Structure 1
Amino acid sequence: MAVSIAATGAPHAKVPIAGKPLRLRLQGIPRAERSFGRCQAAGLVAGVAPVLAAQTRRERIARAAEPGGSVRQAKKASQPDRQAALAMSMYGQKIIGADKTVPEVVPAELLEGEFGKELEAAMEAMVEVLHMLCLGTLILEDVKDKSTVGLYGYKLEENYVREETTMPAAAVTCYILKMLKDKFPEDVVISDQNPELLSKDEKFAETVASFLSSFDLIPEADAASASKWHGLCQSYPEDAETAPERYWVFNPVDTAAEFRDAKQFCSTLCLMKGGEPVVSVVGCPMLSFDHPSRTTSHPSGSSIFYAVKGQGAWTQCVIMERKTGIYLGRYGLKGKSLKLDVSQKIKRGNDGLYDMLGTEQLRIAQHARMRQDIFLDSERIAKLLGSEFAKFHFVNNALKFCWLARGDEDVAWTITQGLYDKSASIKVTEHAAGVLVAMESGAAVADLDGKDIDWSCGRLLSKNRGLFATDPKKVPKQGLINAVKDATDKSEVLYEDRCEKRKEKAAMLRKIFENLATHAETAEELKGAEMVRKKGIEMLDDEEEMMKLTQASMDRNEPSRMGAPPEPDPDALEGALPYSPIKSDD
């Protein structure tokens, strides 16, 4: 049978759009035989992958720049060919040297232990999750607005992104929930995903199902089954007075904002039993594999972190083959897992700025996008610990605890609303998996008041204010607790000052807003004054916004971080300088 392949010499995978399945563009093949597996078995596309792999970026530019080729053609040829990469990803080729199975890389004592079955299932699923997230990112990058940084654009918003999630995250949710339902049918799940999302959005459900079936992730997936699997993400009983004896905590993409901003993100899966985490797996598709025993990070390896209560924490290399930054769809486990010890640090090269300081500075991981007063609380703790110029690294997910475990950081903490705030608002989905990895690597963990973490509260850790994990050999637990206490006292005093300032500012602004109408001279001005008054009163009632305005006002009355401006020298000469060509008018 004659087969006509697209002009590039390779089958192209169309990006799945809502309601339309993703298919290979192969002409002359019956529709029933167009899946890649059947094509490969028939030998119809044999040898195409090596041809694609040989088409390097430089070669494409050279061909386009030959006589008769235009600069525009050369520029177009130099762009990453994501369509070809998507086509290659359907081949499922093994990577030589990276084709191990989970039992071959995970220590035998872990798989033979009490939670060996759960660990093996979670590890196997997480390897596939990394593949799915990279594939999904590839599709979204091909569709996104090319003028933006990150995964944004109206086409994405229309077909691949919803307010709560993205297509890759929804697909991962379906995959993990199906696995848990098949292997552990009695277990319930806590997740931040909306269980009704796919059932209420048929168009989005078809897009997710098309992605799962087209890449043989779940070949039998359709919109109805995808909606059913996704609906299991909140099976944990909402009205439960006590936590179940056993349940899973799952986060497909932690966090969605960092995923779309092309920053570090992760996927987490954690088994809870007896009110505490006992097995956790954290997959990081964008984080290079590294370990203190290595001389450099792996150039094409991504990281999986996992831990079992009482049996240690480990990290595993997953090869995710890329070319010119584009994922090619080939992946596999490589090498044995390496054990993590929080006291062993990764430090390579020189940091000229910090190496010039007389003392070693702490490396601290914490949330990003914090208010200034919250960051000042963090800075105050570091100074009380003796680190005048601590190095802060910002990430809004469980990855910060994995950084600590493998030796990138000395401390990792979560401070939600400032040290003065006594409320508890930490989500279990954002902390359980990462904290277990840190604990099993030897880190000391507690809340900001020094209490142990109570994991039995359900979705929120309602009995704990904040959370920290520290390398006890670098920053002792009690020393950190004392520093937090002293910093909290200062934070409360400053908060009271802000409250007083806020009241003064609010009273002044309220008076201005109320009197605007008295200065209006026309009906149009009166209407505008009423709109301003209404919006202004709403702003005054927004405590968070008023705190920001008050803090900004207070900051303007304080010296900058560069110090106070120089004062004039009373002994300095005034007027024209002697022997200066610039004369005074006097």
Structure 2
Amino acid sequence: MDDSSPEVTTALEAILMASRLCQKVREDLTEGASIQKSDRTPVTIADYGSQAIICKLLKDTFPNDLVVGEENSTELRKPDRSNLLAQVTRYVGDFYPSASSDEVCAWIDLSSHSVRNRFWTLDPIDGTKGFLRGDQYAIALALIENGVVQLGLMACPNLYVSKNQLDGKKGCIFLALRGRGTFQMDLEGKASQPLYVSKVAVPEKASFTESVEPDHADHITHLKLAQKLGITQPPLKMDSQAKYGIVARGEATLYLRVPSPSEPGYKEKIWDHAAGAIITEEAGGTVTDLDGKPLDFSCGIKLEKNRGILASNGILHGVVLKALEM
């Protein structure tokens, strides 16, 4: 597989389309644009629209491939959600003008929760709460073959282009191809440039990123670990897999995700890490669980054989793992 392969070109087209839909929905966001799923995670029109577009495009191009996606149309099909479904259909219609509500639901439901030797995994909006706040979110797509991520793409419409442009241009696409490196582009899929992790080799000079939501990880353990390592910079709190992106381009040295004390046995979903992990790895970094084991994407929709997440610039990975043991 190379950067001109059908997998890369199709995935990039899908991510770009979904990114435009999400930006449009965010501009138009009103109170009625979100509902509550049974797990109380906010779901937006953009979640459904993004998944519909990406699943349709992938299935049109690769009809034999499975897409393991986060959403399904169960909530949308309820009679009291007819207005919400109409809005999703309208936004998808900007890309597929003849799309009916039934077709949009069918496209959303092209995803499954079973895996094969080759499949795609999709988070149509990773960081839904960040999306609703106007902060960071990502559209994340990855191709997995025999349990190993081969291709990862991530659109981050609200992420600044570089740390030197905090008040400047926003919007990035990250693309990583196994053995070919990681690249950042603009939201039109242009201006490609290679990315590399930081060269920080002393823990005291390191920085780390973590989730915004305190129930997503053990922030107290993160803080204690940082103190043990001599890290003095405050954590960069960020929603979504965008955290992998800033490690990949050297703005953070570490991404920590120790399971929350409220759910110590929590197993991460594959769509929350597949794209981000290869983006960090192909930029020269290392991604493992908290025991130093590679992430195993062959166990279904969860990383059943892994505990937590540690992403780093590679240089400090062993030091951090050792500190975690103490």
Provide the TM-score with structure 2 as the length reference. Answer: 0.90
For 2:292 and 2:105, locate their aligned partners in 1 and report how far apart those are by CA, in whole Å.
43
Q: Identify if the C-alpha distance between structure 1 residues 263 and 167 changes in structure 2 by more than 3 Å, giving closer, same or farther.
A: same
Greater length-normalized contact order (CA 8 Å, ≥ 6 residues apart): 2
User: Is 2:179 the partner of 1:310?
Assistant: yes
Q: Aligned residue for 1:236?
A: 113
The partner residue of 2:120 within 242, 245, 248 is 248
Number of residue pairs matched by the alignment = 317
Q: What's the offset of the Cα at 1:297?
A: 6.4
Q: What's the offset of the Cα at 1:391?
A: 2.1
Which one has a larger percent helix, Structure 1 or Structure 2? 1
Q: Identify if the C-alpha distance between structure 1 residues 287 and 421 changes in structure 2 by more than 3 Å, giving closer, same or farther.
A: closer
Between the aligned residues of both structures, percent identity stands at: 25
Q: Aligned residue for 1:397?
A: 240
User: Is 2:139 the partner of 1:267?
Assistant: yes
Give yes or no for contact 2:208–2:255 (8 Å, CA) kept in 1.
yes
Q: Identify if the C-alpha distance between structure 1 residues 373 and 252 changes in structure 2 by more than 3 Å, giving closer, same or farther.
A: closer
Local SS of the residue matching 2:36 = coil
For 1:259 and 1:297, locate their aligned partners in 2 and report how far apart those are by CA, in whole Å.
18
- Where do residues 126-275 of structure 1 align in structure 2 (5 Å cutoff)? 126-140=15-29, 144=30, 153=31, 156=32, 160-164=33-37, 165-200=43-78, 201-213=81-93, 215=94, 217-233=95-111, 235-237=112-114, 243-275=115-147
Q: Aligned residue for 2:12?
A: 123
Question: Deviation per CA, 1:171-224, whole angstroms, max 9, x where unpaired?
Answer: 1111111101101111112222134233334432222112222x3x11111111
Give yes or no for contact 2:209–2:255 (8 Å, CA) kept in 1.
yes
The partner residue of 2:311 within 469, 494, 505 is 469
- Where do residues 436-585 of structure 1 align in structure 2 (5 Å cutoff)? 436-473=278-315, 475=316, 477-486=317-326
For 1:391 and 1:161, locate their aligned partners in 2 and report how far apart those are by CA, in whole Å.
32
Local SS of the residue matching 1:251 = strand
- Where do residues 72-111 of structure 1 align in structure 2 (5 Å cutoff)? 110-111=2-3
RMSD: 2.4
For 2:27 and 2:70, locate their aligned partners in 1 and report how far apart those are by CA, in whole Å.
24
Give yes or no for contact 1:428–1:461 (8 Å, CA) kept in 2.
yes
The partner residue of 1:362 within 196, 199, 206 is 206
For 2:132 and 2:147, locate their aligned partners in 1 and report how far apart those are by CA, in whole Å.
33
- Where do residues 355-434 of structure 1 align in structure 2 (5 Å cutoff)? 360-370=204-214, 374-387=218-231, 389-418=232-261, 423-434=265-276
Q: Identify if the C-alpha distance between structure 1 residues 244 and 279 changes in structure 2 by more than 3 Å, giving closer, same or farther.
A: same
For 1:364 and 1:444, locate their aligned partners in 2 and report how far apart those are by CA, in whole Å.
14
Question: Deviation per CA, 1:257-297, whole angstroms, max 9, x where unpaired?
Answer: 11111111111011111111111100011112228xxx646
Provide the TM-score with structure 1 as the length reference. Answer: 0.51
For 2:35 and 2:185, locate their aligned partners in 1 and report how far apart those are by CA, in whole Å.
32
Local SS of the residue matching 1:118 = helix
For 1:236 and 1:195, locate their aligned partners in 2 and report how far apart those are by CA, in whole Å.
14
Which one has a larger percent strand, Structure 1 or Structure 2? 2
Local SS of the residue matching 1:479 = helix
Q: Aligned residue for 2:40?
A: none
Q: Identify if the C-alpha distance between structure 1 residues 181 and 197 changes in structure 2 by more than 3 Å, giving closer, same or farther.
A: farther
Q: What's the offset of the Cα at 1:361?
A: 3.9
Q: What's the offset of the Cα at 1:344?
A: 5.7
Give yes or no for contact 1:259–1:265 (8 Å, CA) kept in 2.
yes
The letter for the 2-side match of 1:458 is G
Local SS of the residue matching 1:455 = coil
